[in-house]
Amino acid sequence: MYFLNASLQVTSFCNMWCSERKALLPKRRSHFMHHRRWDNALFLHFAVDAAQLQAKLPRGLAVDLYQGVALLSIVAISECGIEPRIPLLPLSVQAALAVSHHAVNVRTYVRPIRGNGPPGIYFFSLDCSTGLPALGARLLFNLPYKVASMSRTHASPESHSQHEFISQRQKRTIFRTEPAGAFHAVWSAEGSLQEAPPGSLAEFVVERYCLYCERGLVLRCLGAAFLKLKRLWRGDIDHAPWPLQRARVELLENTMLRPIGFEAAEPFDAHYSTGVGSIDFFFAG
């Protein structure tokens, strides 16, 4: 067990900078998903060997370094009101299909090798506590969703100040036998909510508005039929900047990095957020 503190500085230019960064994203083509809210997110960041990490990325992506450091992150979060955006289907029906779950993801930070695509996120795993979203995201988008048993508690729910999050990946699924992945953290939030200043580590890891992934089964079929889709696809994400706090973390168990060949050492840094609302996903090709 160990403890760490992560501190942030507020800046009046953060909102302007985030707006300018989002404006650099190409015109969105298709709205495919909406989340009503992301709640109570813990961000843990680990420094890893850049060459070893690069070898695990798909062709076309390069590790995006922060001041020469390659990072893997574990994010524990609750995702609320996950709604598909299906053309011609009334929004009231889509809202009725909404699900909510807890989630733990392992991700890194990347840039496309060719073209002028924006920096984004690449996911190595996305564990969640419900099976239906995992199935759909795997088949359509090839996102590495896995089903896990999860629980979380708030010792002080009024202030969101103390939290515990436990996750244990199911080893047998309808897809395959999964490698073990366990996560158990206890943390407290300290200080006032602040947005990440431009150029800070906090900004580098949390203010990213696109993800990259290889095409899933459905997109591969569409690509074969229409010969328009690339091997990699990009999804653009729209939400308000993350409000962040200092975090005091006790990491009791963590084997989430082991399936991709890394042993978790002490986190490089950590952040906590009460969350953001109204998150929209757009298919950008």
Question: Tens digits of per-residue pLDDT, 130-180?
Answer: 776 666 667 677 788 888 999 999 876 555 578 999 999 977 655 556 677
Assess whether pLDDT exceeds 90 at residue 67.
Answer: yes
What are the residue ranges of helices labelled H in the chain?
14-23, 50-54, 91-96, 131-141, 201-206, 217-226
For the beta carbon of residue 246, count every other beta carbon within 10 angstroms: 18
> Would you say residue 256 has pLDDT above 50?
yes
Task: Measure Cα distances from 73 to 47, 125, 145, 207 in Å.
Answer: 9, 11, 16, 13
For residue 262, pLDDT beyond 60: yes
**Beta-strand relationship, 162-169 and 145-154:** antiparallel
Please report, as a single letter, which amino acid is at residue 108.
T
Q: What's at 191, amino acid-wise?
A: G
CA distance readout (Å), 239 to 32, 92, 170, 253: 15, 22, 31, 31
Residue 8 has pLDDT above 70, yes or no: no
Q: What is the pTM of this model?
A: 0.83
Identity of the residue numbered 261: G
129 close to 148: Cβ distance less than 8 angstroms: yes
CATH of domain 14-283: 2.40.400.10
Domain ranges for the chain, please list them: 14-283
| Nearest in space to 107 (alpha carbons), one of 88, 129, 92, 126 | 126
Q: Say if strands 243-254 and 232-238 run parallel, antiparallel, or are unpaired.
A: unpaired
| Distance separating alpha carbons of residues 219 and 125, to the nearest angstrom | 19
Strand segments, DSSP code E, in 132-229 are 145-154, 162-169, 182-195, 210-214
